[in-house]
């Protein structure tokens, strides 16, 4: 049987605190507001997955920039050249940068001084008019929260044509589906490993990972339909039972049911650890994935190699409405380490 690595994750609670959300002032225009990504600030990570800033400290100021090409078929007009309308916070149709994942959320790891509006807008374009096919750059500065612990924090954002539409990405000659963003900047604070994390070690299967101190690990669960040859390794938060995030880990699963993904990670083994090589979002118009008030992340391997001679499947979930727990799951994956073992499915 060809071995595949299935690492899946349930996300049941979009986390960033929702602030005032700008809503369309009139029915959406026939125009599709599109951009093509050109470049952004930050150093490309060793795995090529992220633009990142390292060796940061709580409270640091970080200048960011994003260069794009206008692919909307219309001219982008600078904020100062657009008419102001009483009752509207900004001119209709001004291009800006807003928070994503969740859309219009307020990232808990940023100080509120990072925003110019509603704790979910960073900057508005106020330069010369940009014709279709023209280049333009947005610059802004964010501040990390003063009490931020060591760890890895991913900030997702996306251009928005205010009061009209979230923009869509144009790439390789095609307009991509959906308006969820794949633009993000990674902040690595201190060592990148939170001091509030504990270490779990499994000597049977030869792996370890770090997890939040307020979670508990149970590795003595009975085998299930999804883990017929290895023990399940669940991580569960110890409080707030109705909204708890939960991570379940299965070693050498032997079959699974249908999984409806909202977000998909591609992962590969590299030097004894898991590397996330790609993060993709299922389009919003695939309603069966996005109408349940929950987010499901599945993680699949882009390699036929297995981790330490075993396969691992993660399920992580949390309910929407409070804190963003996706960084917690990413932290756990980033801390995963394995040793080569010869245990195989029977």
167 and 49 assigned to the same domain:
yes
Domain count for the chain, please give it.
2
> Does residue 343 form part of some domain?
no
175 and 199 assigned to the same domain:
no
Give the separation between CA 187 and CA 196, rounded to whole angstroms.
Answer: 18
> Does residue 345 form part of some domain?
no
Cis peptide before 56 (omega within 30 of 0): no
Decide if 178 contacts 168 (C-beta within 8 A): yes
79 and 142 assigned to the same domain:
yes
Q: Which two tokens stand for residue 64?
A: 């960011």
294 and 332 assigned to the same domain:
yes
> Does residue 267 form part of some domain?
yes
> Does residue 264 form part of some domain?
yes
> Does residue 344 form part of some domain?
no
- Please list the pLDDT of the chain residue by residue as tens digits (346 residues): 333 333 333 333 333 333 344 544 344 446 889 999 999 999 998 767 789 999 999 999 999 999 999 999 999 999 999 999 999 999 999 999 999 877 888 888 999 999 999 999 999 999 999 999 999 999 999 999 998 888 888 898 999 999 999 999 998 888 887 666 679 899 999 977 666 677 888 777 777 887 777 777 777 665 554 444 444 444 444 433 345 666 777 776 665 556 677 777 777 776 677 777 777 777 766 545 555 566 667 677 666 556 666 677 777 776 665 566 777 787 788 778 776 544 343 3
> Does residue 1 form part of some domain?
no
Q: Which two tokens stand for residue 84?
A: 């102001």
Question: Can you give the residue range of the structural domain that contains 49?
Answer: 17-189
Three-state SS at 157: strand
Give the separation between CA 218 and CA 196, rounded to whole angstroms.
Answer: 19
122 and 266 assigned to the same domain:
no
Give the separation between CA 283 and CA 182, rounded to whole angstroms.
Answer: 12
The domain boundary residue, chosen from 169, 189, 209: 189
210 and 299 assigned to the same domain:
yes
138 and 176 assigned to the same domain:
yes
- Concatenated DSSP letters of 196-244: TEEEEEETTTTEEEEEETTEEE---PPPBTTBSSS-B--EEESS-TTT-
Decide if 230 contacts 310 (C-beta within 8 A): yes
Polymer length in residues for the chain: 346
Residue 341: what pLDDT?
Answer: 45
Residue 32: what pLDDT?
Answer: 87
Give the separation between CA 185 and CA 1, rounded to whole angstroms.
Answer: 39
The domain boundary residue, chosen from 132, 161, 189: 189
Nearest Cα neighbor of 282 from 301, 255, 304, 262 is: 262
Determine if residue 146 is left, alpha or beta; phi over 0 gives left, psi from -120 to 50 gives alpha, anything else beta: alpha
203 and 145 assigned to the same domain:
no
185 and 258 assigned to the same domain:
no
Q: Give the position of tokens 């939170």.
A: 194
Exposure string for 70-100, b = 16+ CB within 10 A, e = fewer: bbbebebbbbeebeeeeeeebbbbbbbbbbb
Give the separation between CA 304 and CA 255, rounded to whole angstroms.
Answer: 17
Decide if 268 contacts 16 (C-beta within 8 A): no
184 and 213 assigned to the same domain:
no
> Does residue 206 form part of some domain?
yes
Give the separation between CA 104 and CA 23, rounded to whole angstroms.
Answer: 11
Give the separation between CA 65 and CA 189, rounded to whole angstroms.
Answer: 20
185 and 251 assigned to the same domain:
no
> Does residue 254 form part of some domain?
yes
Residue 169: what pLDDT?
Answer: 92
What is the domain-level CATH number for residue 132?
Answer: 2.60.40.10
Determine if residue 272 is left, alpha or beta; phi over 0 gives left, psi from -120 to 50 gives alpha, anything else beta: left
The domain boundary residue, chosen from 154, 189, 224: 189
147 and 235 assigned to the same domain:
no
Give the separation between CA 275 and CA 6, rounded to whole angstroms.
Answer: 14
């Amino acid at each position: 049987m060809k071995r595949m690595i299935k690492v899946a994750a349930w996300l049941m609670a979009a986390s960033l605190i929702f602030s005032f959300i700008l809503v369309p002032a009139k029915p959406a225009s026939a125009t599709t507001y599109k951009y093509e990504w050109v470049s952004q600030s930050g150093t490309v990570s060793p795995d090529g997955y992220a633009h990142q800033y390292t060796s940061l400290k709580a409270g640091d100021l970080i200048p960011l920039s994003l260069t794009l090409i206008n692919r909307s078929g219309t001219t982008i007009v600078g904020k100062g050249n657009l008419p102001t309308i009483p009752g509207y916070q900004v001119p209709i149709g001004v291009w800006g940068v807003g928070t994503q994942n969740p859309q219009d959320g307020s990232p808990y790891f940023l100080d509120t001084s990072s925003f110019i509006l509603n704790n979910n807008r960073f900057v508005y374009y106020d330069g010369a008019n940009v014709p279709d096919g023209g280049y333009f750059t947005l610059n802004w500065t964010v501040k990390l929260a003063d009490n931020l612990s060591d760890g890895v924090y991913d900030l997702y954002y996306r251009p928005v044509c205010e009061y009209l539409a979230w923009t869509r990405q144009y790439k390789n000659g095609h307009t991509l589906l959906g308006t969820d963003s794949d633009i993000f900047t990674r902040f690595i604070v201190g060592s990148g490993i939170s001091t509030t994390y504990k270490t779990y070690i499994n000597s049977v299967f030869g792996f370890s990972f770090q997890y939040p101190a307020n979670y508990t690990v149970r590795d003595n669960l009975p085998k299930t339909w999804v883990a017929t040859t290895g023990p399940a390794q669940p991580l569960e938060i110890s409080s707030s039972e109705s909204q708890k995030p939960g991570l379940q880990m299965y070693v050498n699963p032997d079959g699974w049911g249908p999984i409806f993904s909202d977000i998909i990670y591609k992962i590969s083994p590299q030097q004894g650890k898991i590397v996330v090589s790609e993060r993709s979002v299922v389009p919003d118009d695939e309603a069966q994935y996005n109408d349940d008030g929950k987010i499901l992340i599945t993680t699949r391997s882009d390699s036929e190699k297995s981790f330490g001679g075993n396969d691992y499947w993660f399920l992580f979930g949390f309910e929407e409405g409070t804190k963003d727990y996706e960084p917690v799951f990413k932290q756990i994956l980033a801390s995963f380490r394995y040793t080569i073992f010869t245990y195989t499915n029977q």
